[in-house]
Amino acid sequence: MLKRFACALFLGLCLAGSAFAAETKNPTLVIETSLGKVKVELFQKEAPVSVQNFLDYAKSGFYNGTIFHRVIPGFMIQGGGLTASLIPKETKPPIKNEAANGLT
């Protein structure tokens, strides 16, 4: 009886552990700048197309050598589309707008 209980407990813990492992965390990445590092969290569930697009650009090295061309303190930074010489970089076709995903 004790052996059966231990086996059931072990199986239950394994299933619970696999349920927690199945939860996917949002991917994070670090943007290294001349003024320090910025840690970014990507909300893959809410904006899968945008996240994949950003990751594809990042993995290809597209953002290397680009600048932040617009900075609004306490609100946002925008960059990645211009070189340090302010020359626009060639981009891929536009993606689906996911702005109605509930994120603010």
Tokens at 42, concatenated: 């990507």
Query: Is the whole model's pTM more than 0.75, yes or no?
Result: no
pLDDT digits (tens, 9 = 90+) for 87-102: 999 999 999 999 888 8
Q: Which domains does the chain have, with CATH numbers?
A: 24-104 (2.40.100.10)
In tens, the pLDDT along 63-86 reads 999 999 999 999 999 999 999 999
Assess contact for 90 and 100: CB atoms under 8 A: no
Could you give the CA distance from residue 97 to residue 12 in angstroms, rounded to a whole number?
A: 42
Other CB atoms within 10 A of residue 50 CB:
19
Q: What would the mean pLDDT of 39-68 be, rounded to a whole number?
A: 95
Pick the closest to residue 95 from 53, 34, 65 (CA basis): 53
